[in-house]
Amino acid sequence: MKNIKIANTDLDVSEISLGCMRISELSNKDISTLIQTALDCGINFFDHADIYGGGQSEAKFAEALDMSPRVREKMLIQTKCGIRKGFFDFSKEHILEAVDGSLKRLRTDYLDVLLLHRPDALVEPEEVAESFTILQDSGKVKYFGVSNQNPMQIELLTKFVKQPILFNQLQLSITNTGMIDAGINVNMEIDPSIDRDGSILDYCRLKGITIQPWSPFQYGFFEGVFLDNPKFPELNKKIDEIAAAKGVTNTAIAIAWLLRHPAQMQPIIGTTNPQRVKDSCQASGITLTRPEWYEIYRAAGNKLP
C-alpha cells in the first residue's frame, strides 16, 4: 500500500481509507476480521462519524478491537461531527460535546483528524475557531478538515480558524464526476459544463487539501453499486477489459481510476466485505494510463468536447 504524506503535518496516511459507516450492523468478530484485513493490506486510516449507526459504529469499532494504546498506535482515526436530527450544528458547544462523545465511544484520548460533517448554513466561524483551538490545545484532536464544502465555505472558515484545513470529503466515483466534468467542458453551453461546486477540485489542489472521495463504487446518491450492474453495460465492459489486462478485479480498477488523478486523492471504501477490501487495495499497485483513464470516463457516458 502506498502512503500519502500530508504537507506540513506528521501524517503519513494510506492512500486508501476504510470507511466504518456500516459496521454497526456486524458482529464483533466480523468487525475484527474486517479491520485486521485492512491493516494487513496496509490501510492505516479509518473514517468514522458520530452519526454512523447512531454512534454505534464508533462504539463497536473500539469494542471489537478491544481498544488499547497498543492497538490505537497502529491506526489513524478520523471522525466527523455537525449533523444532528433535522439540522446541522457547528456551534462551539456542539463540536466540543460531539468530540467528547466520539472519544468515549472510540475508547481513545485523541482523534488524528476531525472533519466538520457537511456545511452548516448558520455557521459562525469564530465559534469553530474557538472549538478547534480548545481541541488542539487539549490534545483531543491533532488535525482538522471538512466534508462536502465548496471553496468559499472553506475560505470563510480559514479567515478565522488558525489550523489548516487538510481534508475535504466529497462524493466522487466513475459515475459521479461533476467536479471533473465542469473542468473538461469549460466554455461549453451544455449541462456538464455547469460548475456546481465552485471549482472545488482545482481549489483543493491549489490549497494542498486532500480530497477523500466517498462512495467510490456508488452511482447517484446511494442508489447502488455500478460494478456488475446491467444499468452500465459499456462501463462494465471497459472496466472488465482493463482489469483482465492488468490481472486485477473490477473493484481495483474503480479505485485505481480515482488514484490516477494527480490530485493525490484518498478514496474511502465503505465496504464490510473483507475480500472487497483486498480487491480495493490491489489498486495501490497499478497505474492506469492516460488513454485507459479517459476510456473509462467515456464508457460511463461522458463525452469529450
Amino acid at 119: P
**Residue 256 contacts by C-beta under 8 Å, 6 or more apart in sequence?**
248, 283, 286, 287, 288
By the 8 A CB rule, do 56 and 26 touch?
A: no
**CA distances from residue 156 to 88, 117, 160, 161, 247 in whole angstroms, order as listed:** 17, 16, 7, 9, 46
Which one of the listed residues 52, 143, 203, 297 is annotated catalytic? 52
Separation between Cα atoms, residue 268 and residue 271, nearest integer Å: 9
Separation between Cα atoms, residue 299 and residue 254, nearest integer Å: 13
Q: Any idea which residue has 450492523 for its cell?
A: 25
Residue 52 among the catalytic residues:
yes
**Positive or negative, the Cα torsion across 148, 35, 249, 53?**
negative
**Residue 52 contacts by C-beta under 8 Å, 6 or more apart in sequence?**
20, 21, 22, 24, 58
By the 8 A CB rule, do 228 and 178 touch?
A: no
Separation between Cα atoms, residue 221 and residue 173, nearest integer Å: 11
Q: Is 54 helix (H, G, I), strand (E, B) or coil?
A: helix
**CA distances from residue 213 to 47, 61, 69, 137, 143 in whole angstroms, order as listed:** 12, 22, 29, 29, 19
DSSP letter at 45?
E
Catalytic residue set: 52
